[in-house]
Structure 1
Amino acid sequence: MNEYRTLVDTDTLEQNLDNPSWIVLDGRFDLMDTESGRNAYLESHIPGAQYVHLDEQLSSAITPDSGRHPLPRVEELAGWFSGIGINPGTQVVVYDSMGGAMAARCWWLLNMLGHTRVAVLDGGFPKWKQAGKRVSSSVGVSRATSVGAPTSIATESSGIQPYFSWNSDGVVNVDEVLENLDTEAFLLIDARSSERFRGEQEPIDPVAGHVPKALNRALQLNLQPDGCFKPATQLRQEWHLLLGAREPQQVVHMCGSGVTACHNQLSMERAGLTGSRIYAGSWSEWIRDFQRPIATV
């Protein structure tokens, strides 16, 4: 049985829509209109897909010190994924309408929980519709599972070994990023647009600019004009040019709030460059403390 761990194409998904071991998640979301994705889902979606909301399932409540999309509570996230039927044998496919910019967050979180059989639909819902494939307005039905109960999550101190197990090593916190300004132990790569990175415009956050010494690779550079990812060989060449002598394990991705940073990690994984990490708080957390330095170009 084939396993898809980065991307899956529309034809393959269509062939497996009735496969009981496949679960499809609709992750459409708009940062400027947080209900537009759910409304779009209710109007039309891939048959059998269930909706996953960035704010409700894939993030926790904002605090005075956090960024705009804090990591979800692990127990709640694991419980939600278990409740919709995800178990060790499940192939998950998640899609959006933005070239994977939103879907990649769900992809990353499932990987962080130890579920690697998850892929982003290449080209997303626009590609699906363009290909003339069938759609539905019926709400997807969750599949119950006994594997990974909502409150059964392995942590470093729990001593239990259920299915889902959070990989804390895959996340970098703000203190580590601050320390890295001196040590340069890792290479920080920002997935926001070049205009936002340079501080020329900032449509979302109250402060413009970027973390000093960070490099910029806008997530759009991972995509072709049709919204699909570039070939793996091309992505690998482009990443090698950016990383230089750095190993993939020395790379930390960030963005505005820790969402689209996952798109750059997905791109690297697609290119066979494994082991990068995510600064989950990202720019919107960094600027919470005015004593943290800010750079503009």
Structure 2
Amino acid sequence: MAWTTIIPATALHDLIGQGAPVLVLDCEFDLGDPARGRSVYRAGHIPGARYVHLDDDMSARPDGSNGRHPLPDPAALAARLRALGLHRGQQVVAYDGNGGFYAARLWWMLRWLGHEAVAVLDGGRQAWLAEGFVLESDDPAPVAEGDFTIAPALVGGVVSADEVLANIARGDLLVVDARDPARFAGAPHPLDTVSGHIPGARNRFLRDNFDATGKFKLPAELAREFAMVLGETPPDKAVMQCGSGVTACANALAMEIAGLKGAKLYPGSWSEWTSDPARPVATGQA
């Protein structure tokens, strides 16, 4: 059975214990200290896990107009995944200790490249430790290059800033902003050069997808809550957006868990949107 959204720590532990060919990828990251994630990984990670860096592996180079974390070239990303040992059809489990936000980005990107068997560790590193499972600090054993190849996307695809701009008047798509309500309303934030939100967007704070233990809410609860955000908009007309196209993927994953398939991603998100002062900005709660 392939895990395609989230996986419990106990199930991942069983896969590792059974010697299953699972590729575990540690996505630990800190926006304020980009070197910290790798240090945390080296101090202790799930046995056999390999490290994937948000800036170096999961993003292209920003140029000041394409957002803080633009999507990498698909071929370059596929090559990096092969170097990590990924094979076609192999189960991938991504995790972090940040609530799954960065792991969800990797989940979305693998689905974008057509890889079905990828899941986020529900509850992340904390859930692994809460079960009494150990971490290791040793480097994982070298692996031969995998045979992963790009296949048709399993997500709703991406939209550009121009498409989002055109949609403000047209209204065919609904932008769903994953940032916290204060940032959405227009409160200043260190990561934002301009405060506010894209006109017409609605707010779904990414942390609202999780229960008190840090795990994703049940599918039925997520479905009810997203229905309140989406209204009459079908899931495949929803566009996930955040600060830089990273935490929006947590909303995309939550929708997938809820059975709401086909949501799109605006990769440049707010950091790209506000790089052009001609693009309109709204404030207040939608």
TM over 0.5, yes or no? yes
Map of 1:164 onto structure 2: 150
Map of 1:7 onto structure 2: 6
- Cα-to-partner distance string for 1:248-294 (whole Å, 9 max, x where unaligned): 11100000000000000000000011000100000000001001001
Q: Is the 8 A contact 1:10 1:127 kept in 2?
A: yes
Q: Post-superposition shift, 1:146?
A: 5.0
Check if 1:224 corresponds to 2:238. no
Map of 1:191 onto structure 2: 178
Q: Is the 8 A contact 1:60 1:72 kept in 2?
A: yes
Q: Post-superposition shift, 1:166?
A: 6.1
User: Whole-Å Cα distance in 2 between the matches of residues 289 and 180 of structure 1?
Assistant: 17
Give structure 2 stretches of 5+ with no counterpart: none
Q: Is the 8 A contact 1:83 1:142 kept in 2?
A: no
Amino acid in the other structure paired with 1:12: A
Q: Is the 8 A contact 2:84 2:146 kept in 1?
A: no
Amino acid in the other structure paired with 1:121: L
Q: Is the 8 A contact 1:104 1:120 kept in 2?
A: yes
User: Whole-Å Cα distance in 1 between the matches of residues 140 and 186 of structure 2?
Assistant: 42
Map of 1:39 onto structure 2: 39
Q: Structure 1's 174 and 50: CA in aligned 2 closer, same or farther, altered over 3 A?
A: same
| Identical columns (%) | 44
Q: Post-superposition shift, 1:169?
A: 6.0
Q: Post-superposition shift, 1:206?
A: 1.3
Q: Post-superposition shift, 1:131?
A: 1.8
Amino acid in the other structure paired with 2:263: S
Check if 1:284 corresponds to 2:271. yes
User: Whole-Å Cα distance in 2 between the matches of residues 245 and 166 of structure 1?
Assistant: 28
Map of 2:28 onto structure 1: 28
Amino acid in the other structure paired with 1:3: A
Q: Secondary structure at the match of 2:261?
A: coil
| Cα-Cα RMSD | 1.3
- Which residues in structure 2 correspond to 1:1-297 (within 5 Å)? 2-18=1-17, 19-148=19-148, 163-165=149-151, 167=153, 170-297=157-284
User: Whole-Å Cα distance in 2 between the matches of residues 249 and 74 of structure 1?
Assistant: 22
User: Whole-Å Cα distance in 2 between the matches of residues 234 and 169 of structure 1?
Assistant: 22
Q: Post-superposition shift, 1:68?
A: 0.2
Q: Secondary structure at the match of 2:260?
A: coil
Q: Post-superposition shift, 1:20?
A: 4.0
User: Whole-Å Cα distance in 2 between the matches of residues 142 and 281 of structure 1?
Assistant: 34
User: Whole-Å Cα distance in 2 between the matches of residues 295 and 193 of structure 1?
Assistant: 15
Q: Post-superposition shift, 1:142?
A: 4.6
User: Whole-Å Cα distance in 1 between the matches of residues 187 and 128 of structure 2?
Assistant: 35
User: Whole-Å Cα distance in 2 between the matches of residues 205 and 52 of structure 1?
Assistant: 25
Query: What TM-score comes out, normalization by structure 2 length?
Result: 0.95
Q: Is the 8 A contact 1:5 1:119 kept in 2?
A: yes
User: Whole-Å Cα distance in 2 between the matches of residues 28 and 146 of structure 1?
Assistant: 23
* Corresponding residue pairs, total: 282
Q: Is the 8 A contact 1:74 1:166 kept in 2?
A: no
User: Whole-Å Cα distance in 2 between the matches of residues 142 and 229 of structure 1?
Assistant: 33
Q: Post-superposition shift, 1:177?
A: 0.3
Q: Post-superposition shift, 1:64?
A: 2.6
After TM superposition, the structure 1 stretch with the greater mean CA deviation from structure 2, 112-121 or 197-206, is 197-206
Q: Is the 8 A contact 2:180 2:206 kept in 1?
A: yes
Q: Structure 1's 252 and 178: CA in aligned 2 closer, same or farther, altered over 3 A?
A: same
User: Whole-Å Cα distance in 2 between the matches of residues 113 and 250 of structure 1?
Assistant: 20
Q: Post-superposition shift, 1:87?
A: 1.6
After TM superposition, the structure 1 stretch with the greater mean CA deviation from structure 2, 85-94 or 275-284, is 85-94
Q: Secondary structure at the match of 1:120?
A: strand
Q: Secondary structure at the match of 2:225?
A: helix
Q: Secondary structure at the match of 2:101?
A: coil
Q: Secondary structure at the match of 1:267?
A: helix
After TM superposition, the structure 1 stretch with the greater mean CA deviation from structure 2, 49-58 or 243-252, is 243-252
User: Whole-Å Cα distance in 2 between the matches of residues 169 and 245 of structure 1?
Assistant: 18
Give structure 1 stretches of 5+ with no counterpart: 149-162
